[in-house]
Structure 1
Amino acid sequence: MNNNPELSIVMPCLNEAETLAICITKAKSFLDLNQVSGEIIIADNGSTDSSIAISKAHNVTIINVEQKGYGSALKAGIDVANGKYIIMGDADDSYDFSNLMPYLSELRKGNDLVMGNRFKGGIEKDAMPFLHKYLGNPVLSFIGRLFFKIKIGDFHCGLRGFSKNGYNKMNLQTSGMEFASEMVVKSKLNNLSIVEVPTKLHKDGRTRAPHLKTWSDGWRHLRFLMLYAPNWLFLYPGILLGLAGLVLSILLIINPIKIAGLTLDVHTLLYASAFLLVGFQFMIFYGLTKIFAVENELLPKSNRYRKLFKFINLEKGLVIGFVLVCLGLFLSLKSLSIWQTKDFGSLDTSTTLRYVIPATTSLQLGIQTILFSFFFSVLGLKK
């Protein structure tokens, strides 16, 4: 070991006395047998067993991390790492630290992030709970591939390697188990190179229950993926709802629609108007979420984001909003004139609501556009 090692091996630790020694021993064996200049860092997250004593006995670097969380422990350990490359892995003996060369080889080739794939490398019997193996990991990995176009099969493998330069570009923020997903997503968003290697998952050597909580941690991963993909959460549903509402509204304004004896009239027009409004609100939330995430460095600035600012600005929004409000007022006056011809008495709702519903919809769209434009500009004041 020296002050400028090639590789830093970082293990988060919280009461891992049963397995920590064997993990450290395997990691040292790998460094010695492969003549790799390296260091081993134990990021302890408040252990109350003999984990710290074991670490001291094996003469490795120990970092005491007060802020709780898997991500907090790893970030603290990575921050003090001196290696050009870093490999992180759980200290429960579920991963073989004596077999890290596939990771290091890919890092030496210039890849920024090397992910393990347990489904390709093999999963020992009882090494992964049934729900994790057949539901949680496959579903969350599929969502990750769909949302972010990342071609890897195992988003949540705990053994992975990355370059220190690449890690610094990721600008990771989360403190819990979703740290694993954030690393993959941020690597893709920052155009870092990602590869995967087969990795075998062994049954861990602990007698206590694992720290991972199936439902709560699974939800944290899913929530993270959705919040970091506002296009899937807001934009695409908004476009579908908005288009459906707009097309249906236009057709119903012209004439009632008759389908196999079923007549769709102004009552359906009211629902179509609601679809249009809700879809528009979804798209507004997409814009606000996007600018908030980028300006607070949760997401990197992209060419699409820069184009968004060139296309959308306060002045254009005010003009569009004003036009929509004027259209709503015009249709409202038209409705009033029709009522006036009836001496303000009873009306044929099938006729008047074809003006009233578009009028109120247009007024709401106009006011929302104006308010969105002001708020959008406030959020973008940094730019």
Structure 2
Amino acid sequence: MGSEFELTILMPCLNEAETIVQCIEKAKSFLIRENVHGEILISDNGSTDGSQALAEKHGASVIHVPVRGYGAALIAGIHAAKGKYIIMGDADDSYDFINLSPFLEKLRSGYELVMGNRFKGGIQPGAMPFLNKYLGNPVLSFIGRLFFNVPIGDFHCGLRGFNRDSMRRIQLQAPGMEFASEMVIKSALKQLKTTEVPTTLAPDGRSRLPHLRKWRDGWRHLRLMLMFSPRWLFLYPGIFLAALGLLLISILSVTPLKIGPYALDIHSLLFAGAFLVIGLQSIFFYIVGRIIGSASMGIPLRKKMDRLLEKFTLEKGIILGFILALLGVGGSLLSVYLWMKAQFGSLVPGEMMRIAIPSVTLMIVGSQIIFASFFLNLVMQSYSDPQKR
């Protein structure tokens, strides 16, 4: 079924009676000036100040969304929109609905997501809180670019355009403010054609405080980024800890290590064992997380991961784990033998711990690999094609 309109201008709304009329009139002015066949859609999230009646009076369509939240309102709006393209923006009069041509031109040229960049377009004095402008937004946008390799300078700009059908396909779900990050992240993971255009930000026209809560919503954005990037959450920290632990164990099991005035000995050896165990566990979480994420989101695994999983068998994991655990048991028996030779008396800690700590670490790592292999095999079978089972 074809779209009734070329463009839907979508605005989430929760008690925006002070500014919604100005936003609608600016959006109407744009549609008329550019001769765009479009609609203005207000996704109301339970307003009690008459915003809905004002919107309808000035020619906008209104849908009522009972599930509270910025993301919930926009997701409902995306599904209700009749336009081939959607440009969304807050109804607080902070975004420039008169100058939407750069967004529409990019959408017409084939881009599926067009982000506004307020830092390039200009942020008026008082339009963005100091912490958001110089800390929260730049830091979270940097993390987003680093994690997902997407060339977006303003992850949280509320003025953005997108292809309606493309956005429906990626199945956005976040109900809160983190929806802004979810849209960019899933677009990157699904390889939607993405770009950005400069836009401006003005102080909003409301007399009340904004719905945004800096620290709570900032954490929700960061949490979402971590959940969608198991490489940065699990793999890279795991590789670092495992490599550091293995290096220190290899050295400290033989001799103390002096670095300038500092000396690392058996106490550091104990921590090295912990680093190795935690690191390997984190790497295992990454592998399982990627399999589950791939199955639930339909994102293809990387070629290296595919090759790794093709070579993996439960039996290989059991054999490797058993060998390592057996080495650990052998070292533990050697410790007991040396204790017997000392007639179960006092031992020299510096000598015994260089045997005992690596031995215990090997037993833990070996057991960890055996159990992880069983669990990984179970996960792979659970998420494999039923036709192949």
TM-score by length of 2: 0.93
- For the 8 Å contact 2:294–2:301, the answer to whether it is kept is no
Q: 1:373 to 1:261 in 2, by over 3 A?
A: same
Higher deviation after alignment, 370-379 or 23-32: 370-379
**C-alpha RMSD over aligned residues:** 1.8
Distance 1:176 1:42 in 2: 17
Which residue of structure 2 aligns with residue 142 of structure 1?
142
Distance 1:191 1:16 in 2: 35
Which residue of structure 2 aligns with residue 302 of structure 1?
301
Alignment of 1:93-104 (within 5 A): 93-104=93-104
Aligned partner letter, 1:382: Y
- For the 8 Å contact 1:190–1:300, the answer to whether it is kept is yes
Distance 1:260 1:71 in 2: 54
Deviations 1:285-325 (A, max 9, x none): 2223333333332x723334534432444333222212211
Which residue of structure 2 aligns with residue 278 of structure 1?
278
Give how far 1:282 is off: 2.0
Q: Is 1:356 aligned to 2:336, yes or no?
A: no
Higher deviation after alignment, 146-155 or 340-349: 340-349
Which residue of structure 2 aligns with residue 41 of structure 1?
41
- For the 8 Å contact 1:12–1:89, the answer to whether it is kept is yes
Which residue of structure 2 aligns with residue 59 of structure 1?
59
Alignment of 1:14-93 (within 5 A): 14-93=14-93
Distance 1:308 1:18 in 2: 58
Q: Unpaired segments of 5 or more residues in structure 1?
A: none
Q: Is 1:382 aligned to 2:383, yes or no?
A: yes
Distance 2:201 2:315 in 1: 57
Give how far 1:262 is off: 5.0
Which residue of structure 1 aligns with residue 196 of structure 2?
196
Distance 2:159 2:260 in 1: 60
Which residue of structure 1 aligns with residue 387 of structure 2?
none
Higher deviation after alignment, 47-56 or 345-354: 345-354
Distance 2:85 2:180 in 1: 17
Q: 1:3 to 1:142 in 2, by over 3 A?
A: closer
Give how far 1:198 is off: 0.6
Give how far 1:176 is off: 0.5
Distance 2:104 2:327 in 1: 64
Aligned partner letter, 1:91: A
Distance 1:3 1:260 in 2: 71
Aligned partner letter, 1:65: V
- For the 8 Å contact 1:314–1:374, the answer to whether it is kept is yes
Give how far 1:3 is off: 5.6
Distance 2:19 2:10 in 1: 15
Alignment of 1:317-356 (within 5 A): 317-356=317-356
Deviations 1:228-257 (A, max 9, x none): 122112211111111111111111112223
- For the 8 Å contact 2:78–2:168, the answer to whether it is kept is no
Q: 1:308 to 1:19 in 2, by over 3 A?
A: farther
Q: 1:219 to 1:277 in 2, by over 3 A?
A: same
Give how far 1:17 is off: 0.8
Local SS of the residue matching 1:347: coil
Give how far 1:21 is off: 1.1
Deviations 1:155-207 (A, max 9, x none): 11000001123213322121100000011111111111111111011111111
Distance 2:67 2:277 in 1: 43
Give how far 1:220 is off: 0.9
Flag as ranges the 4+ runs of structure 1 deviating above 6 A. none
Give how far 1:261 is off: 6.2
Q: 1:43 to 1:307 in 2, by over 3 A?
A: farther
Which residue of structure 1 aligns with residue 157 of structure 2?
157
Aligned partner letter, 1:319: I
Report % sequence identity. 54
Give how far 1:107 is off: 0.5
Matched pairs, number: 381
- For the 8 Å contact 1:169–1:190, the answer to whether it is kept is no
Q: 1:260 to 1:186 in 2, by over 3 A?
A: closer
Which residue of structure 2 aligns with residue 186 of structure 1?
186
Higher deviation after alignment, 189-198 or 335-344: 335-344
Which residue of structure 2 aligns with residue 268 of structure 1?
268
Distance 2:16 2:317 in 1: 57
Q: 1:260 to 1:198 in 2, by over 3 A?
A: closer
Distance 1:306 1:250 in 2: 31
Give how far 1:259 is off: 4.2
Which residue of structure 2 aligns with residue 208 of structure 1?
208
Deviations 1:4-32 (A, max 9, x none): 21111111010111111111111112111
Distance 1:321 1:213 in 2: 48
Give how far 1:139 is off: 1.0
Distance 1:92 1:286 in 2: 41
Aligned partner letter, 2:366: G
Distance 1:73 1:35 in 2: 28
